[in-house]
Structure formats: structure tokens, C-alpha cells
Structure 1
């Protein structure tokens, strides 16, 4: 049984995949392999299959490109303007994905001609994908001010300067080092390691790792690592 006199629509998932290399935020893009807009840069996407939920489709599409499982994924606002796709009526459900670049580098799928771009050097994307990326960034800036989601971008061991650079890069601002360190350590989210990163100085900086138990317990707590005036207006 079906609803009568109704037009069938296609629903697609587009993954907005962010990474952080220790200095810059990056976006993982693919070259589209078919018309229209063949060989132009695009988000990684695909259609939801009859047996899938939107979340499962996003997980499948991300795994096809990166080989990674259990990645942070969050759906943002749907894109549904009728003329957004010139071929057929397609409603798009964008998902923000945060991945550790180091884990991805050993699992590149060459079938999609994927490439990392820094956010300051993004090419023009197909359809409304540029709008999706901008919306995803605004959502990330808002969410990261209240939840420790940016830790998903970090390798297993990282330094406090790397962590601070990650927050500064997202908000394009400078944060007082002493206050930032105090606030981060007060959350008890981190475990101090015995070894140091000496790539930047002889003295070096101690590595830290995420305390998984405290991370899960405190995920919904407010952690104001950045000045309040840098937090964009948004809704939870």
C-alpha cells in the first residue's frame, strides 16, 4: 500500500568531513565521477537505501571513503530547495564528521580522488555544497563552545599548545595561554603522559591523552575554553 497521488523524492546524505593537522583545519573533498558537474569538487555523498536510516547511510558513506568506523557524526539542517539538483528532486541531509587525520592517512580510498583542502583554500563546490560547509562550520563553532567535541579531531596523544591552536583556529582568535590551560586541566578530561613533544623546542611540551571515562561523563557539560564574545549565536 502506498500514499496515492504523491510524487516520490530522492533523499541523499552529504558528509562534511573536517580534520585538523596540528596547524590548520581541513576539509576532505572528492572529485565527482559523473555528470552533472563531473570532475568538480564535491562533498562525499550518496543516496539513502530503502533499508537504511539516514544515520546508517552517513556511516556507510563515510566508511567507504575513509575506512573509519565510530566517527563523530551529527546531522545538520536539511537542504530541500526543489532546484538544488538539476537532474531530479533531491533532498540532502548533511552530516558533520570529525576525524583524526592521522588515522585516515593510512586508509585512503583512491577511487574517489579524495584530497584535503585547508578551509582558507577551498575550491568552489558543486550545487549548494559551499552553503553546507558554511552552515557546518557555524554549527561546529557553536557546539564546540559547550561540548568537548573538538577532541575527536586529535590523535591519541597531543600537547596543550596543539589543543589551544585547534580552538584558536576554529574561532580565528587568540586565547590567553594561562587561562586556557587552567580551564582545560580543571575539566579533568586529560591525562598527562610521561613523554614530550620536542619538535618545536628543546624543552618540549608534555603529551596528554583523553581520559575516555571522564570524556563520556562530561560530554554534555559546559566547557568555556574560549572567550564568550567569540561564541556564535545558535541553538542547541
Structure 2
């Protein structure tokens, strides 16, 4: 086999960041690492890419192998390449992240590697540069949430305005005025109010809504800048 001469081989790994929403809180899925170094320490879902795999194939395989999750939309975020990021060998890390509704996938979760949901702001210390990866993913999530309604990936098909507000407040680490939030959200015209109410959290109850997918497809710009001046929020 012909190879490039004089070149040092470098390992390539994939790390998956899974954000989830349970209706009240934004969370992150972590596992306990199954091998040295840092065995049994909390970690993102990571593994090495095999010669016959594409990056996307490796990300989906690793996620399923370590957590049981499959059919999750994964988006490639960035490469991390500090020469000292892995103490054993030079390893390039390709980071993917995903947004899911926790209840939709909870039956898939495997506990072989102690996969566990943590509140995003109360997550334990992570190995290597995984905390840096998560911090960057949070910033990307905040940016995208301000320009595009990607957060609907985290919600059940039927949801309430307070649930959506909880989600936005979890993303931005800020509080929003309830009346203004509701008014601005409903003014987009992209939500359809249902007859049923969620009465678990208050006597009066909150109406359920669903996303009007057809109108959203034709006018998703209605959600642009849904969060006013997100760069000015105290995060």
C-alpha cells in the first residue's frame, strides 16, 4: 500500500453532545468513561473513527453503542486539535451536538455506561477538554435559538407557552417577562392553539399548542430575532 512518507499518524475521534429538555429543565446526557485514562470519570459520548466510516456514520455508531440512542439528528460543530488534549496519543476530536425531547427517547437509553441526564448548569467535571466543547455548544445553541426555531426539536409535539419559556430561559440563563414572551411568541402566527389544557402546574391551566409546520415551512423568518438582543443578555 502506498502511503505518504515522513508523516506521523494521528487518531481521529468523535464526541457527541446531547442536550435534552424534560418539559421543565434543559439537561445534558453524560456517561462514565469505560477505559483509561480517566476511567469511570464523567464524559461526553466519544470514540475513535474506524477506517471504513464517514464522520457521520461514526457519530451515530458511537452514540448508539454508548447510550442506546438512534435516529437522533446530529449536527457537526467543530474540531478540537490541541496536541495535548489527550494524554496518551495525539487525537483530533470532531464534535457533534443534538437537541432532543427527553421523553421521546427515554425508553432507548442504555445504562451500560451509566448514561445519565444532568441539569446543564449542574453537570459534574468532565474529562479532557469536554467542558470547553460543551461551553462552545451552549453558545452555538444560544445563537441558533435567537435566529431560528430549532428549540422545537426539544419539545413534544404538543406543548404550552410556559414550557417553551422554561426552555428559552434555560438556554439563555435569563428570565423573560411572561406577558411579553407570550405576546411575542403568539404574534408569529406559527402556533395553533389546542382545546386541551395542561392543568398539572396551575388550577387555571395553560393551553397546549402545536407548531403549524406548513406555515412554518413558508415563513420561518417570523421567528427571526425572537430573543431580543441575545448578545446583550447577562449569561
- Which aligned runs of 4 or more in structure 1 are off by greater than 6 angstroms? none
Corresponding position: 1:173 with 2:206: no
Unaligned runs of 5+ in 2: none
Instruction: State the match for 1:67 in structure 2.
Output: 69
CA distance in 2, matches of 1:156, 1:166: 15
Paired residues of 1:175 and 1:227 also in contact (CA < 8 A): no
Cα offset, 1:45, TM superposition: 1.1
DSSP 3-state at the match of 1:28: strand
Between 82-91 and 176-185, the greater mean CA deviation after superposition? 176-185
Equivalence for 2:194: 193
Tell me what 1:134 maps to.
135
Per-residue deviation, residues 173-224 of structure 1 (Å, max 9, x unmatched): 2222233223222333322222110001222111112233344445577522
CA contact (8 A) 1:175 1:226 kept: no
- Residue 30 (structure 2) pairs with residue 55 (structure 1): no
Q: Deviations over 1:72-92 (max 9, x none)?
A: 322222110111111211100
Distance across 1 between alignment mates of 2:230 and 2:136: 19
Deviates more, 1:12-21 or 1:54-63: 54-63
Structure 1 residue 107 and structure 2 residue 108: aligned?
yes
Secondary structure of residue in 1 paired with 2:8: coil
Of 12-21 and 185-194, the range deviating more from structure 2:
185-194
Quick check: 2:21–2:102 contact (8 Å CA) kept in 1? yes
Cα shift at 1:163: 0.4
Q: Distance in 1 between matches of 2:68 and 2:190?
A: 27
Query: What are the Cα deviations for residues 86-144 of structure 1, in whole angstroms up to 9, with x where unaligned?
Result: 12111001111111100121111121110111122111111110111111111111111
Partner in structure 1 of residue 15 of structure 2? 14
**Mapped contact 1:180–1:226 kept (Cα < 8 A):** no
Residue equivalent to 1:46: 47
Q: Does the residue aligned with 1:213 lie in a helix, a strand or coil?
A: helix
Q: 1-side partners of 2:121 and 2:166: how far apart?
A: 16
Tell me the residue number matched to 1:125.
126
Structure 2 contact 188–222 (Cα < 8 Å) conserved:
no
Separation in structure 2 between the aligned mates of residue 181 and residue 4 of structure 1, nearest angstrom: 62
- Conserved? CA contact 1:28–1:114, under 8 Å: yes
Q: How many residues align?
A: 231
Give how far 1:17 is off: 0.7
Q: Secondary structure at the match of 1:76?
A: strand
In the other structure, the counterpart of 2:160 is: 159
| TM-score in terms of structure 1 length | 0.90
Contact 1:171 1:230 in 2 (8 A): no
CA distance in 1, matches of 2:160, 2:197: 8
* Structure 1 position 52, deviation (Å): 2.1
